[in-house]
Each structure stands twice: as C-alpha cells, then as structure tokens.
A and B are shown apart, each in its own frame.
Chain A
Amino acid sequence: MSAALSAEGLHTYYGKSHILHGVSLEAGEGLVTALLGRNGAGKTTTLRSLVGLTPPRQGRVTIFGKDTTRWPAFNIAALGVGYVPEGRRIFPNLTVHENLMVPLERPGRWTPESVYRLFPRLAERKLSRGRQLSGGEQEMLSIARALLLNPKLLILDEPSQGLAPLITREVFRIVAQMRTDGISVLLVEQNVRMSLEIADQAYVLDDGHVVYSGSARELAADEARVQSLAGASAEEWTLQ
C-alpha cells in the first residue's frame, strides 16, 4: 500500500502561536482516512498545512511522490488535490453555475454536467447565488466544486457541520462513493461514529499532537475512546 499523501513532523504556527507539534500522518491510496479530534485540536490547521494555505514551518509534506512542502496552494491543487474547506467557503456573490466555473479544469470524468447529475438539487438552483443556498446545498456545491478538479485526493473539513441528519447521511454516502471510484479521501469530522464506519484508517489529534493512529475499525471498537471523542456532541448518527 502506497500513500497518496504523507506528512512528517509538521510544525505549524499562526504568527507566534505554535499550533501543530510534529504531526505525522498518511492518507493511503484509494482509502478513506479519518482525522478526528476535539474542537481546537488542530485538524483544520493540519489540512491547511497539507494544501499549502498555511505552510508548516518545519516538517515535510509529500503528495503523489512529490515534495510539496513549499509549494503554493494552487500548484498543490493542480496536482489533483480537491479541498472542501471548513464552512464550505462558497462564493456568495456568484451563482451556483458561476461557482462551478472557478476551479481549474483538470480533465476527467467530472464535468459540470456530471456533477449536476450527482447533485440534481444544484441543477435546479443553477442561477441562485451562493448566499441564497441552504447549508446542505452549499455543502454539495463545495464538494461539486472540488470534484471539478477531478481530484485523485479529496480533502474534506467537517462536511457535515450544521447539516440535518438526512443530509449528513447523504454527504457520507457520497464520500464513501468517492472511495469506490478510486479517489483517496482525507476526512476531518466531528461525527466520529459515522466517519469510522466509512474510514479505513484513523488518526486522532489532540492539542496539535497525534494521539492515535491505526485502523478505523480498531478505534471504533474502543467504545470508551469513541465516547470521549464524540464528547457531548448530540450530532451522532450511524449510517444504517
């Protein structure tokens, strides 16, 4: 098994605050890797370090065999790394259709037509502005936008945040489908149980340190640990 992405010893800062303390992880080719941890653990910062938005001060990021540590974000994306950011980051002033014109066109099976087939709701709302969409529609648009890059690696930051259970399940189903399509997935989630159901590997982050790395199944079996990770979160549903 080779890695689509691997990070070694990342130290990342925001100004003077030292957020990541030597984070190492791998996203296996063709697998779903879950990155879990409480609020403020450093999950978003880790993803931003990987995609070049907040480059690490120390450590190394390798994506598809290339050392991308110092690459600008747009070069990393152009390698085939789709990023669905926390909070979705839809362009509110653009229509759905225009939002889908922004990403770099990398050739592949995903085209505006095929993402509209995957998300029929977006086709209906083609001419609505980003700010007029519901949370679920925004999430679909954010995923659709990343798919248009025809990514080989898809990185998602809390895609189910703030979504109703039914839509959350839909989002997880689509992420699981990406895996069957051969896309490697790195998934950050608060929804621990559902993530572990679709993930192959898992990492748990706490205060900028990796405190668990191993198989998702083993972690899921550790009820005490899952409980403490899920914490007081009410948003706990399972896929079935």
Chain B
Amino acid sequence: MAIVETRKLTKVFKQGQPGAVNHVDLETREGEFLVFLGPSGSGKTTLLRMIAGLETPTSGEILIGGNVVNHLPPRERRIAMVFQSYALYPHLTVYQNIVFPLKAQKVKKELHKQKVEWASALLGIGRLLDRKPRELSGGERQRVALARAIVREPSVFLLDEPLSNLDAKLRASAREELEQFQKRVGTTTIYVTHDQVEAMAMGDRVVVLNQGTVRQIGTPQEVYDQPADTFVATFLGSPPMNLLETDDLIVGFRPERFLPSGLVAGSGSTDEIASRMKTEHLLLADVGKRVPLRFRVEYIEYLGAERILYGALEGGRFPGKAVASRIPSGVTERYEANSVHDFIVPESELKFFDRASEKRVAPKAIPWQ
C-alpha cells in the first residue's frame, strides 16, 4: 500500500510546443480508487506513464510511499500496470504470463505456483492457464492482465483504459467486478479513462484533466454537482450542462433540472401533477424559487428510460439559445417537434461561471427577462 503524489509534474514532448502534462499536483489517499478522466489527448496516459517510470518527466517530482522516485526505473517502483492493449506476452501461456513478474523479480521458485494459483483463482481464470493469449476472448485477456498485475502484490495499481476494448455489455460487468476486486485487495489504484460513466461509477475521487492540466479533483458527486469550471461542467453529463452567456457571466443548468413547469410542485395541485406521471421518480418536493423559460422543442431522442428534448429558448433574455432537457420516462406528456412549452429551472440549480476565466463563481441574481 502506498500513496502516490505528484508535484508540479510536467512533460513537454517537443520543445516550444504546449506540454502534454502541465504542472500537475495531486495526491492519492491510502487504498483509494482514483480516476483520471479527460478527453482523448488530455495527457492521462502520459501522466500515468510518468508515474510508472516509462516516461521521464520534463520537470516536477513523483513520490510513491513518501519517497521521490524520479530516478528509479519502473521495476523498482513496486507498481503494477495494466495497459490498454493488455500487453500479454504472445509467445507465453497464461501461466507463464502470470508468473513472468515473479521470475523477473526473482521471487523464490517454491512460491511461484501457489501465487499464480491464488491470482488466477481470484480472477476466475484457473482453467485457462495452458492457453496462449491469442486463444482468449477480450474479457479473458483483461483478466489475465489483471492477474499478472496482482500476482506480485504491488503497492500501487496503474490501469490505462483497461475496459475500452470490451463490448458494452461486458464492460458494465467488468467495471463492477474490477471495483469489487479493488475493494477486496485494497491496493491504491489509479485508473485512466475517457468514459465519464466509468469514472463516476468506480472512482472514490475523480481527477478531471484537459490539455494536460488538472481542472478539478473531487468525488464523483462533487465534480458533477459542483463543477469547478465550464470544461468540467460540459465534459460530465450527457447531454452536457446547458450554458447561457451573459455579460461577464455564464449561467449553467443540467438538462435533468430543466423541466416542464407543470411537473414541478407548487405549479399546480399535487393531484394534477401526480395524474400526469406514471411513477413517482420525478422531483415533487417544493424547489423554492423557479426561473420560467419558454422552450421550443426541435427534436426528440427517445432513450427508453428517458427522453431528451433538444431545442432553443424563446423570448426572454436568451432567445434562440440551444438547450436540452432530460425527461424521465415516468412523464407521459407528449412533445412534438416545433411545439413551444413552459419550462422552469429551480434557481438553486443554477451554476454561475466567470466568462473570462470560465471558473465557477458565487451565485448572482440576473434579470431573466
């Protein structure tokens, strides 16, 4: 077990060009599942490879377990890494793949068999030990790669998009398993992904990266509900947060908080609202002050559990601004393309950002008409 810390960590691949990783400061907690989340090209892999020792930092320090490890080669950092391609050794059997780190690190021979069996049992791949990697499915390969990573009981796990090669269904179950597994072994884990669902579901905390800089570090709830800037606000959530620009401010609200006014408590009798809904999932509590907006629906995506309405605001302060609304399937109201409706946003759900810096600022009152 160990804590990983980076101090002003920077990587510039070509002089004169912007760095792939810029002044990153972060610190894991003991046994934590920390997720690096960012779009592709945001420097997640480079950051992870520097922690692993596979890439030399241009400047800054890396600490593992309290010691600066910049000068140590990967093999001396007591880490294990799972690569996006899994990087299984193609000429070796599954058994030989898993035992490879033990041999390389000169673990006593008597222990090999027992440790491989422990790791393969933990991942349920005991019956695959004689196969070659090319004879395995994607899910099996991923397990072998994990078994190879845990067999030497490292102090830190580094995982680079380990689920991105699996199909959607397998990915969901693998995600669940991986999370359970990490809780069980309790090893500090850094997990790289560009998939916000993965990040939210698995991470104890999420580090949101863009263009090599850290935009926000926080629990999934914090980064979703209290985004530090407009990048985080729009990168998380699908569809992203609606943003409206005005003077020196940007006002934002989530599509799931942008709802037909008739469906929010306080805008009619409770019976009336309940009769228009099949389930009670929708927020019925009194939401306090509301901002009314007229919404012209342009097209509708039906996603089963919800509908997403895309369209634009009408009249008011932001005429013609594109916005989206997410409506749970319990709402039976019909919406047609090119119809105009009265919608509201609870005022408490509004987020304010400074227009110049794009950072979040304290709520302000703005005239909506």
- Bound together: no
Residues of B that sit less than 8 Å from A by CB: none
